Amino acid sequence: MSEIKQQIESWVSTEAQSKVDNYYAKMGYNNKPTLEVSFGRKYAKIMSASSVWGFVAMSEDVAKAEVVGDLLKAASWSAPAKHARGNILNGSASYDSYGPNYLK
């Protein structure tokens, strides 16, 4: 379990944070938010300032069709939305500076 936590922290600090930083630099904003991770039993919550940026599944859930590393949009402060927006471990995650993208 600690290996997935390290992978999530690494992905957030490198890939997701760089996308946020690039967007804010392009728009000319000086105050860039920092993404932070907090871990629960099933999900890692990614926070940006005082809002939820997204969730990452830390365990497999067959009933919800979730795999380890699935990126999920926030449905509320404490729960992810249904349907993954890709996987951070295999590089298929679909997100931008404000969080996981909407489904198309």
pLDDT digits (tens, 9 = 90+) for 57-100: 999 988 888 999 999 999 999 999 999 999 999 999 999 999 99
Q: Which residues contact 77 (CB under 8 A, 6 or more apart)?
A: 52
pLDDT digits (tens, 9 = 90+) for 9-35: 999 999 999 999 999 999 999 889 999
**pLDDT for the residue 1:** 61
**pLDDT for the residue 64:** 85
pTM above 0.75? yes
Report residue 72 as tokens.
Answer: 């999920």
